[in-house]
A and B are shown apart, each in its own frame.
Chain A
Amino acid sequence: MRAGLLLLLLASQAAASPAAASPPGASSCSGCHGAPGGAVPSLAGRTAEDIAAALAAFRAGTRPATVMTRIAKGFSDEESRAIAAWLAGGGR
């Protein structure tokens, strides 16, 4: 029970105040990707799997884009997955 409460506390803290360290490159994304409704697709509500798959396709050139093909090539698969997980977890 006590362990459960601790977990909940930690979870609520994590939600209220994201961890300081974001994975390399991740914090730059919010320069363009904001709230839904704009020309640039919002990342809000996307799963880590979706974001990671998009980054992999941009990097491979199999998904057409304007700038994302150029940006995704700056990250390894592992880095892209870390960014995707951070963004899906509410990082900004």
Chain B
Amino acid sequence: MTGIGRRAVLAGLAAATLPRPAVAQGARGRVVVVGGGFGGATAARVLQRAGLSVTLVEPAETYWACPFSNEVIAGLRPMAAQGFGYEALRARGVTVARTSAEAIDGAGRRVRLADGTTLDYDRLVVSPGIALRFDALAGYDEAAAQVMPHAWKAGTQTELLARQLAAMPDGGTVVLSVPGNPYRCPPGPYERASLIAWYLKTRKPRAKLIVLDAKDTFSKQRLFEQAWKALYPGTLDYVPLAGGGQVVSVDSRAMTVATDFETTRADVACIIPPQRAAPIAAAAGIADRSGWCPIDPVTFESRLVPRIHVVGDAAIAGAMPKSAFAANAQGKVCAEAVIDLLAERAPAAPKLINTCYSLVAPGYGISVAGVYHPDKGVLADVEGAGGTSPLDAPDAIRRREADYAEDWYRTITSAVFG
């Protein structure tokens, strides 16, 4: 026996002792995935790869990714770099129903689609993302968002804010309103503040950015504040809750943003309102009174309706933030749990990772990472792991994290949509 032949046989023996593929283990059933973002598209891919019949319900032909959209707003990146289609998923064998889910009958295990058809399922994965609450901030409704963009769902809103910034005269005032927790992408508003400040400093040096925050503490706070002090003094004015930063109303005609203490006139106003899970969650009965979806931390199955699993921003994922990385990680773990459950196996307790990069300037990246596991019924931090970039890092490390951020985006969008 040659060395190679011997290795092949050993590999065969090793393979025989490994867990066999899901199909061989009897995972059968109809799986429907609602929502084609980072969570849903990921889950659909993993389920399809296991040999299951998967239908992904997604009305948009192009998905506009939020990560890196703050760079678009600051003129650092074309919008085209944020768009992804579903051709690759289709080519892999995922059926993509280009319509939206209107209702979910959890007892009858059926999804009703906007085009009038229905889809029966054995397991349903819902990854619907967020809805912006247009009932939470006086004066801020859908019409006001056309004047004062939230740009918290990427797409036309992103481009609107970018255009407004570009058209603003030097010497103008930009106001950025940041909501209380929880919301999509905890460090996102502060990355946006940083990159808008960078844009103003380099393109409109007499202009100012006022950041009005409904809270006092936030993700990567010391790193952001250190960078702001070094890079944007005189440009970026941060007002926390304790300093009267909570926005209580806006007037999109007068272009004013009001706190309990002060009314500020803005040339450009970006209002990030409070959020909840997208409407299909409430329609399906899987959202609780908080507006978000409680889940089992092992399977991501809804605590409220059996056989419906929820991943991504809509889920209450304990210590895990609402991020694209987290949605992708959850989509994979949830899909494996669904495969196990369809094969009548009990899924093992998972661990999940999150890594979120933020840019505070071009070439200046910072990160926060975490490892999570089910603990007392929720996804909790694994103690001793995770944390942020160091405060005292040299420029080379900031540069490297900026490069990693860019590469992360390339890799994850390719893994999900490519």
User: Which residues of chain B are within 8 angstroms of A11 by Cβ–Cβ distance?
Assistant: 11-12, 15-16
Distance A74 CA – B353 CA, assembled complex (angstroms): 9
Residue from B49, B355, B386, B412 having most chain A Cβ neighbours under 10 A = B355
Shortest A70–chain B CB gap in Å is: 5
Residues of A within 8 A of B23 (CB): 17
Most buried by A among B13, B21, B353, B403: B353
Given A11-B11, A20-B22, A66-B367, A34–B353 Cβ distance below 8 Å? no
- Complex Cα spacing A40 to B370, Å: 18
- The answer to whether A30 and B415 touch across the interface, beta carbons within 8 angstroms, is yes
Q: What's the nearest-Cβ distance from chain B to residue A83, in Å? A: 9
A24 to B, closest residue via Cβ: B351
Question: Does B114 have its Cβ within 8 Å of any Cβ on chain A?
Answer: no
Given contacts A20-B22, A74-B385, contact A40 B367 (CB under 8 A): no
Q: Which of B332, B343, B401 has the most CB of A within 10 A?
A: B332
Which residues of B lie under 8 Å from residue A7 when comparing CB positions? 9, 12-13, 15-16
Q: Please, which residue of chain B has its CB at the minimum distance from the CB of A68?
A: B369
Q: How large is the interface on A (under 10, 10 to 19, 20 to 34, 35 or more residues)?
A: 35 or more
Which residue of the partner chain A has the closest CB to B16? A10
Q: Does B352 contact A (CB under 8 A)?
A: yes
**In the assembled complex, A21 has its CB within 8 A of some CB on chain B:** yes
Number of A-B residue pairs, CB cutoff 8 Å, is: 157
**Pairwise interchain contact A79-B351, C-beta atoms closer than 8 A:** yes
Complex interface: chain A residues within 8 A of B24 (CB): 13, 17
Q: Which of A6, A18, A35 makes the CB contact (< 8 A) with B411?
A: A35
Does residue A47 face the partner (Cβ distance < 8 Å to B)?
no
From A17, A24, A67, contact of B50 by CB (8 A):
A17
Q: Is the CB of B350 within 8 A of A25?
A: yes
**Chain A hits for B389, CB < 8 A:** 66
A40 to B408, CA, bound (A): 7
A28 to B382, CA, bound (A): 15
Contact with B along A1-35 (1 / 0, CB 8 A): 00010111011011111111110110111111111
Task: Tell me, yes or no, whether B336 is within 8 Å of chain A by CB.
Answer: yes
Some 23 contacts from A to B, beta carbons below 8 A apart, are A6-B16, A7-B12, A11-B11, A15-B15, A17-B49, A20-B19, A20-B50, A20-B336, A21-B347, A24-B350, A27-B329, A28-B354, A31-B328, A31-B353, A34-B411, A34-B415, A66-B389, A66-B397, A66-B401, A67-B404, A70-B385, A73-B371, A75-B385
In the complex, the 5 A-B pairs of residues with the closest C-beta atoms, listed nearest first: A74-B371, A74-B385, A34-B411, A28-B353, A25-B351
